[in-house]
Amino acid sequence: MFRIVKFADLTEVKSDRLLDRPDAFLPDLATSLNNLGGDLSDLGQREEALAASQEAVDIRRHLAQDRPDAFLPKLAMSLNNIGAMLSKLGRREEALAASQEAVDLYRRLAQDRPDAFLPDLAASLNNIGGDLSNLGRREEALAASQEAVDIRRRLVQARPDAFLPDLASSLNNLGAWLSNLGRREEALAASQEAVDLYRRLAQARPDAFLPDLAASLNNIGGDLSNLGRCEEALAASQEAVDIRRRLVQARPDAFLPDLASSLTNLGVWLSDLGRREEALAASQEAVDIRRRLAQERPEAFLPELARSISVTSDVFTALDRQTEAAQAAHEALEILAPFVELYPENFGDLARAICADLVQYSAAAQQAPDRALLERVARALDGGETATEDPAIKALMPKFVAILEEAKATGVLDEAALAELPESLGDWLRTAWSERSGEDQ
């Protein structure tokens, strides 16, 4: 807190000095605002962080017009920072625009001075990979992440102490994007390398690297589960939860969102192993945390709340509490629907999974699903066409439900039964089933 006060006071002093000598003190003011934004973000004060960082961008953009050699690198840094902050606030298109401008600037700078700017280019590629993935542009996200890994491997060969943390970060992201594209063995290899690196780093500097170790454990849990290694997935997820509980005790604003993510995953893996009461407790705790977060920042946290509620609905049905399962699936889809309409590529897989759950759990509870809600989501996913209005599709719903029920009992989809469905509906079911493996990485 002392450092925040110091920077805030310093910013006020430099603003006063600008009245007398603007050319002399504008660069210092931008630096102070940039630092203030970073500190506020670390404390979870994201709106305030964004305001300070945006002002730093505006000043540095002005300075770079007159003296590009001196101020383009600092403008690129501020754009990188603001892209990350916009992403945390759920402002995905703006985040991508800022991150893309940072990548373009650093690429130009690295061409002239690679030793100075290749590390910054790798960092900006790491960031833009996340922004592209958040908008459903997964192949582009993978390409950016792979370029960042390649650059950082070369940097580690020359200076391992300086660049190992950066390589671990890029490997973590690479594993996530590979997993999103179904390349599961490659995803696990990248995630395992990230875990191993972060574990070494956290042993030497726990305060600095425990958060990163927890994030990498969260990711590798999904990779292990995708390959059917459920006990190992549970162990990784439990370790991530344990680390994040300790972090939340010290800095709740910064780490509560991460704890909710790990608890959601833990609920999935516990349920898959038949420990359903424990699964319900974990997933309900995640829901409670995300409800509180979504009240303060709905754009950022409502989609994650929908995801946690969806996991809770799965646990309810596993406990044969079908009415509660159907109610939870309905709530999850109702929360997610506006985001599907805005970002169908990003939230489509989750929406399809929840739609499938809503149909199945409503049938098990002997009640009709909300057709208007299902059709609203279908229109968003199908560009205006509503599959649920098709009488032929309606006639296949009992078979659709039976396939899902058998898959939940056996852990795999019956491909012979899927082959009897229309190809588009079979593909739809496969996508919905694949989304059931837990939190997006």
Question: Is residue 367 domain-resident?
Answer: yes
Question: Is residue 19 domain-resident?
Answer: yes
Name the domain boundary from 151, 186, 212.
151
pTM for this prediction = 0.71
Question: Is residue 224 domain-resident?
Answer: no
Domain that holds residue 57: 1-151
SS3 content of the chain, % helix, strand, coil (to 5): 85, 0, 15
Name the domain boundary from 95, 130, 151.
151
Residuewise pLDDT in 10s, the chain (441 residues): 334 434 445 455 445 555 555 666 889 999 999 999 888 887 767 789 999 999 999 999 999 999 999 999 999 999 999 999 998 787 889 999 999 999 999 999 999 999 999 999 999 999 999 999 888 899 999 999 999 999 999 999 999 999 999 999 999 999 999 998 989 999 999 999 999 999 999 999 999 999 999 999 999 999 999 899 999 999 999 999 999 999 999 999 899 999 999 999 999 999 999 999 999 999 999 999 999 999 998 888 999 999 999 999 999 999 999 999 999 999 999 999 998 988 887 788 899 999 999 999 999 999 999 999 999 999 898 764 444 444 545 555 666 667 766 766 666 667 777 777 666 566 666 665 655 544 544
- Could you tell me where the DSSP H helices lie in 385-440? 391-395, 397-410, 415-419, 423-434
CATH label of the domain that carries residue 90: 1.25.40.10
Question: Is residue 188 domain-resident?
Answer: no
Say how many domains are in the chain: 2
| 176 neighbors 441 (Cβ within 8 angstroms) | yes
Question: Is residue 189 domain-resident?
Answer: no
- Number of other residues whose CB lies within 10 A of the CB of residue 320: 9
Give dist(CA 272, CA 116) in Å, integer: 48
Question: Is residue 1 domain-resident?
Answer: yes
Question: Is residue 213 domain-resident?
Answer: no
Name the domain boundary from 121, 151, 181.
151
Question: Is residue 326 domain-resident?
Answer: yes
